[in-house]
Amino acid sequence: MAATQNLSDSDQSSVSDQSVSSRSGNRSIRVAEKERRKNEAEDPFVLSLKYFSDVEAGTPFHGNDKLEKNLVQVEKVAYSQGLPPEAVSIMLEFAMSLRMGTSACVRVLKCLIPASVVPQEAVVRAVVWLSIGKMPISTQVLFIKWVLTVFDMIDAKDQLRAIYGFIFNFVTDENLCPFICHLLYLLTRKESVRVFRVRKLLELQSKLGRQPFLLHLLSLYKVFCPELVTLSIPSRMKSGFKNHISPWKSALIAVQKRNGLQGAFSNSLVFTHKDKTNPRKRKHCHLEFPDLIPALNKEARSEQSSSRRVVPLVQLHSFAQLLENMHRIELPAQMGSLLGSSLALQYLDCVQDESALLRLNFWLGYAFHEEFLFCGDGGPSQTSEEALQFLNKLLSAQHFLQEGFSSSEVFLYKFLNVWDGSLLRPQILGLLSNIPVVPSSQIRRLLFEPLMQLFFTSSLFFKCGLMECLNNMLLKWLTWHSIYALEDDLDISLNSHTSINMTLSGFKDSVMELIHFVGRLASVGLQLEGCHCLLLSFVLDFYETVCDTFLKYGLPLIVMPPAGVFYPALFATDPVSVDRLAYIMHRYKVNLTSAKSQEKVTEQVFHISRQTFREFNHYVVVMVNCLWNSRMFHPGMGVQLGEELLLKSNVSQYGSSFDLVHHPAFMSYAVNFHQKCWPGKKDMDLNSIKHSKPWSWYLEYLFTQGYDGLKHFVQSNISWQLKEDDGQGDAQQR
């Protein structure tokens, strides 16, 4: 065991030695190497490898004990630690040459689990073997699947790109086509897009129908060379390449986990001073963002003429450098790495090149699908920590770019339908609040139905979380609108990168749908939770956004809260809720009056319906009558009770039971005020506050307690003169 461990460790370092010269001066490795050489002779694994590299073609497979013994040895190492690069080369060569027939080949392919990297040369040679054509088609598919699985671990891609045309030839095979398309998608660069290839793909498409894998490859071609691909590609496609649940996935993850831990340990001992500088020492944990790795290797880059020199992102270290090289940036081999680097995000933000986003979205969509919707046997428990970091990083990238990625949007629509409401809740809700405006025709199906089912079956805290999320979503939509709205034709293009264009009325419809939806959730939610003040607070947050849509965000749309929100807030037992409601009503009034005056000045027809004004007036009358005039149950008010019923309740002066003095939220202030005002008085008569002078003092007192909402409300809605005897005014009615 120890010997094989040594072997794989030092092999890893010897591979990196070839490319990174700085590593050679490492003493402890040399010592380990010597040790290894000594042990090598006896190591059964090395002997087995030797067997496989030397075995003659035509040796029988069945009943061959020697082969069986050696194969078991290799499999044991493969499943426990993964195979070192040179072992991968040997075994791949053995398998693909079909020296011992197909069944040996399949068995070897299945245990080809690389420990660190896969040498590119081995893959290229294997592709050459593939084209000899002796191999049965299912084995060919298995091989391509293997390449796709380990694609990120292949140490360089330049030679593979060099045989792009070679690989392209395999698309004509119907069985191989989906997998080859996927591989080509990963390898394609601008130079690879040629007229004859496009023609071939279109020809295939007419033969096979509009297959998603063909469409995906074509869409990438179109991004690189729009003049060559005239085909119209749907803006949102079915998640393209099928998920290859391959036999290697779980074994690979297990091996990487194990090696990752060991690697971390040995790093701390040996490579302490340079572990960041070596780009090859990446971990292949499946959800980790890969480091930025240039898609070309060094030699290839120096060969290129200086005029077409490209600069890999990894070589840039400052914003100034980025600006200088903006036109010749080379994207990394793995697009996911962009999310981890702030420079790369800057680049994404300002560059118009769509291929970067297309590839990034593809990478993300694939990762989402693999890790969250289609988990392997390892289950959710093992990945939760990684998943958490992955989503957090993604969130901060989205925050930086100030927009969501379309792949995360599509993922969310699927995920909401199988979500238990608690798994990674903060992150999922964070992603959800980033989604771009959803057309009103779709919004119900995609968002509201799954959310409603989750909302009403989940706990209070989920309800609060969702309220906050929907508030953020609305805020973002409104902000997009205020930035992207074009003034002349009222047409807005949302989300600079995806080409969704929306008319203003379409946008308004979506926003209105959202507000009404939250209104429904809030009314019933408050009822079910017994008007819990925490939930109420989140609901009022939402309406603080809603009441200012016109003035703050320039959207000519004003929606009043439903009664199910208004009354619980008005009769809340905590003064803060009442105060915030007063503030919201005040802002509604400011928005409505300015909308009305603007309508008069500009003669522009944006219509705020009479119904909205009516609702607003009704609410204001109710509030003033209730808090100020002590006319609580008057006919025509929202809350009506029969006279005899009220008398039966034995509450004297029921009309005044919710005025600013007797309102349960403010009663304690009234009592406090009474004690301060008449310190000597034994019997407390709260009604005495209602006289003109003390009333104004009492209001003054409330305002100094920080109830600015009430203050605004009183000032804007109640014309009130101190001189009047009763000290009480009336609602200003429109």
> What residues make contact with other proteins under the rule CB under 8 A?
234-236, 238-239, 243, 245, 372-377, 379-381, 384, 410, 413-414, 417-423, 439, 442, 445-446, 449, 452-453, 456-459, 500, 524, 527-528, 530
User: Could you tell me the smallest distance in angstroms from the CB atom of residue 454 to other proteins?
Assistant: 9
Nearer to other proteins, 457 or 611 (CB): 457
In which element (H, E) is residue 675 found? helix 667-677
Nearer to other proteins, 72 or 375 (CB): 375
Strands of 394-439 (E only): list them: none
Q: Are residues 371 and 383 in contact, defined by beta-carbon separation less than 8 angstroms?
A: yes
* Amino acid identity at 661: V
Pick the closest to residue 213 from 245, 191, 185 (CA basis): 185
Here the tokens at position 182 are 């996927």
Nearer to other proteins, 319 or 374 (CB): 374
Q: Are residues 555 and 481 in contact, defined by beta-carbon separation less than 8 angstroms?
A: yes
Q: Which residues of 171-196 are buried (b: 16+ CB within 10 A; e: fewer)?
A: beeeebbbbbbbbbbbbbbeebbeee
User: Could you tell me the smallest distance in angstroms from the CB atom of residue 576 to other proteins?
Assistant: 24
Nearer to other proteins, 230 or 457 (CB): 457
User: Could you tell me the smallest distance in angstroms from the CB atom of residue 522 to other proteins?
Assistant: 13
User: Could you tell me the smallest distance in angstroms from the CB atom of residue 250 to other proteins?
Assistant: 10
In which element (H, E) is residue 331 found? none
Q: Which residues 6+ apart lie within 8 Å of 34 measured at CB? A: none
CB atoms within 10 A of CB 323: 12
By the 10 Å C-beta count (0-12 exposed, 13-18 middle, 19+ buried), 265 is classed as exposed
Here the tokens at position 151 are 């694609």
User: Could you tell me the smallest distance in angstroms from the CB atom of residue 457 to other proteins?
Assistant: 5
Q: What are phi and psi of 332, to 5 degrees?
A: -70, 165
User: Could you tell me the smallest distance in angstroms from the CB atom of residue 560 to other proteins?
Assistant: 22
As a whole number of angstroms, the distance between CA 204 and CA 533 comes to: 62
As a whole number of angstroms, the distance between CA 602 and CA 610 comes to: 19
- Per-residue three-class SS string for 7-58: HHHHHHHHHHHHHCHHHHHCHHHHHHHHHHHHHHCCCHHHHHHHHHHHCCCC
Residue with the two structure tokens 């392997």: 376
Q: Which residues 6+ apart lie within 8 Å of 4 measured at CB? A: 43, 45, 77, 81
User: Could you tell me the smallest distance in angstroms from the CB atom of residue 198 to other proteins?
Assistant: 23
As a whole number of angstroms, the distance between CA 578 and CA 710 comes to: 8
Nearer to other proteins, 54 or 377 (CB): 377
User: Could you tell me the smallest distance in angstroms from the CB atom of residue 538 to other proteins?
Assistant: 17
Q: Which residues 6+ apart lie within 8 Å of 242 measured at CB? A: 178, 213
Nearer to other proteins, 3 or 388 (CB): 388
Residue 142, CA atoms < 13 Å, CB-side half-sphere = 20
As a whole number of angstroms, the distance between CA 671 and CA 662 comes to: 10
User: Could you tell me the smallest distance in angstroms from the CB atom of residue 141 to other proteins?
Assistant: 19
Pick the closest to residue 712 from 590, 572, 561, 616 (CA basis): 590
**Paired strand residues for 35:** none
User: Could you tell me the smallest distance in angstroms from the CB atom of residue 392 to other proteins?
Assistant: 17
Nearer to other proteins, 245 or 512 (CB): 245
Here the tokens at position 453 are 């089912």
User: Could you tell me the smallest distance in angstroms from the CB atom of residue 370 to other proteins?
Assistant: 9
Residue with the two structure tokens 């008569």: 685
Nearer to other proteins, 495 or 629 (CB): 495
Q: Which residues 6+ apart lie within 8 Å of 485 measured at CB? A: 492, 504, 554
Here the tokens at position 236 are 């949102």
User: Could you tell me the smallest distance in angstroms from the CB atom of residue 527 to other proteins?
Assistant: 6
Q: Which residues 6+ apart lie within 8 Å of 172 measured at CB? A: 200, 204
Q: What are phi and psi of 154, to 5 degrees?
A: -70, 130
Nearer to other proteins, 400 or 462 (CB): 462
Nearer to other proteins, 424 or 547 (CB): 424
Nearer to other proteins, 163 or 524 (CB): 524
User: Could you tell me the smallest distance in angstroms from the CB atom of residue 193 to other proteins?
Assistant: 24
Nearer to other proteins, 331 or 446 (CB): 446
User: Could you tell me the smallest distance in angstroms from the CB atom of residue 410 to other proteins?
Assistant: 8
User: Could you tell me the smallest distance in angstroms from the CB atom of residue 229 to other proteins?
Assistant: 18
CB atoms within 10 A of CB 680: 4
Strands of 216-327 (E only): list them: 311-312
Nearer to other proteins, 299 or 449 (CB): 449
As a whole number of angstroms, the distance between CA 646 and CA 652 comes to: 9
CB atoms within 10 A of CB 507: 25
Nearer to other proteins, 171 or 223 (CB): 223
Nearer to other proteins, 48 or 523 (CB): 523
DSSP 154: B
User: Could you tell me the smallest distance in angstroms from the CB atom of residue 251 to other proteins?
Assistant: 15
Nearer to other proteins, 437 or 560 (CB): 437
As a whole number of angstroms, the distance between CA 173 and CA 65 comes to: 37
User: Could you tell me the smallest distance in angstroms from the CB atom of residue 236 to other proteins?
Assistant: 6
Residue 398, CA atoms < 13 Å, CB-side half-sphere = 26
Nearer to other proteins, 94 or 455 (CB): 455
